[in-house]
Amino acid sequence: MVPISILDLSPIIQGGTAGQALRNSRDLAQHAEKWGYRRYWLAEHHNMPGIASAATAVAIGYVAAGTERIRIGAGGIMLPNHAPLVIAEQFGTLESLFPGRIDLGLGRAPGTDPLTAQALRRDRTDASDTYLQDVVELQRYFGPAVPHQAVRAVPGVGLGVPLWLLGSSLYSARLAAAMGLPFAFASHFAPDHLAEALKSYREEFRPSATVKRPYCMAVVAAYAAETDAAAAELFTSLQLSFIGLRRGAPAQLPPPVSSLAGHATPLEIAGVEHAFSEAIVGSAATVRRGAEVFLRRTGVDELMVTAAIFDHGARLRSFEIVAQALIGGQRIEPR
């Protein structure tokens, strides 16, 4: 079985609070550790009423302090929003507190709207063209100190925090290959270029000092319940949230509904079905079959699953079923 991991956006449910969302995230991570998940990543988003993980390094520290073995990381930090030195110090601190357990995934998009992106980093209106330089700068901060180095990350220097590049297109795939870094593809909301990105990454990969062979991960939405119908209903919360975002009205995670009909137009439903076309939704057996198909088709080295579910108990049960189906089951041989 390939390793199975979790991506969490720490969803704030309708009528809930950010504090509740973060406590739920820590509780889920504690359960995930017992169930055998490899890593637990939190994602940076800003100005989103339904996401509590904006201060991602702080949220990672909170979750890491409540767990013992599972790797905790960022999936990811949106590098255009930050000076690399600040990120190096934050994740150097996390690595110092939780040695050998911290991952740093890096994204090229701001993870928010243009106005909020400008508020986050007022000195630059568009930092995407410096992404490569920023990644290299981060690597330098985490590397060993060199003579006459004027600026060092303390903590950070010499800690070698593992870097991942994240993406939903070919750019990050090719950059990860050129730099010899592991790559994670965001197929949970942008599936169109999955096959092409994985192919480019594998074909163009050049070994680095830390990564000797291509290592790729894909993220998919995975919703599980006792029956296919029950899982499909849980999934509607995310679908409705995505439709609201597309309408320009992001909101807290809504409760599930029995059907999207009456809550969205046919065009909106078609759009959300396309965006989540890689989602795996159903009972344990359905999740098992869906994962087998996805892993054999993509050959990824690791599968990361995500699910924003309104009821925390149902969310725990969903990830438990996924673990039983994919971690405790029979071996799946990638293609």
* Per-residue model confidence as pLDDT tens digits over 95-117: 999 999 999 999 998 778 888 87
**Residue 112 has what pLDDT?**
80
Whole-number Å distance between alpha carbons of 101 and 103: 7
The three-class DSSP label of residue 39 is strand
Whole-number Å distance between alpha carbons of 129 and 108: 9
**Residue 126 has what pLDDT?**
52
Cis amide leading into 180 (omega within 30) = no
The three-class DSSP label of residue 148 is coil
Whole-number Å distance between alpha carbons of 45 and 240: 18
The three-class DSSP label of residue 125 is coil
CA angle at 258 for the pair 290 and 240, rounded to the nearest 5°? 75
- Of 30, 11, 32, 33, nearest to 22 by C-alpha is 11
| Whether the model pTM is above 0.85 | yes
Query: Exposure string (b/e) for 187-213, b if CB count within 10 Å is 16 or more?
Result: bbbebebbeebbebbbeebeeeeebee
CA angle at 68 for the pair 64 and 69, rounded to the nearest 5°? 100
- Of 83, 103, 87, nearest to 160 by C-alpha is 103
Mean pLDDT of the chain: 94
Counting as low any pLDDT under 50, the low residues of the chain are: 127-128, 329-335
**Region for 133 from its dihedrals, namely left if φ exceeds 0, alpha if ψ lies in -120 to 50, beta otherwise:** alpha
**Residue 315 has what pLDDT?**
98
* 60 close to 39: Cβ distance less than 8 angstroms: no
Which structural domains are found in the chain, ordered by start?
4-326 (3.20.20.30)
**Residue 218 has what pLDDT?**
98
* 242 close to 189: Cβ distance less than 8 angstroms: yes
Per-residue pLDDT tens digits for 179-233: 999 999 999 999 999 999 999 999 999 999 999 999 999 999 999 999 999 999 9
H helices present in the chain, as ranges: 18-35, 56-65, 84-97, 114-120, 131-142, 170-179, 194-204, 228-246, 266-275, 284-298, 312-326
Half-sphere exposure of residue 256: CA atoms within 13 angstroms, side-chain side: 18
